[in-house]
Amino acid sequence: MSGREVLFEMSRVGAYMKVVAVDAETGTEVSIVGPATAPPEVLKRQAVKRLIFVLKRKAAGEML
Is 1 a member of any domain?
no
0.85 surpassed by pTM: yes
Residue 64: predicted pLDDT? 58
The domain in which residue 25 lies consists of 6-59
User: Within a domain: residue 31?
Assistant: yes
Rounded CA-CA distance 8/19 in Å is 7
- Interval 18-62: pLDDT, tens: 999 999 999 999 999 999 999 999 999 999 999 999 999 999 987
The secondary structure of 32-46, three-state, reads EEEECCCCHHHHHHH
The band of 63, judged by pLDDT with boundaries at 50, 70 and 90, is: low
Determine, yes or no, domain membership for 64.
no
How far apart are the C-alpha atoms of 47 and 31, rounded to whole Å?
Answer: 6
- 3 state DSSP class of 45: helix
CA 55: distance to chain centroid? 11
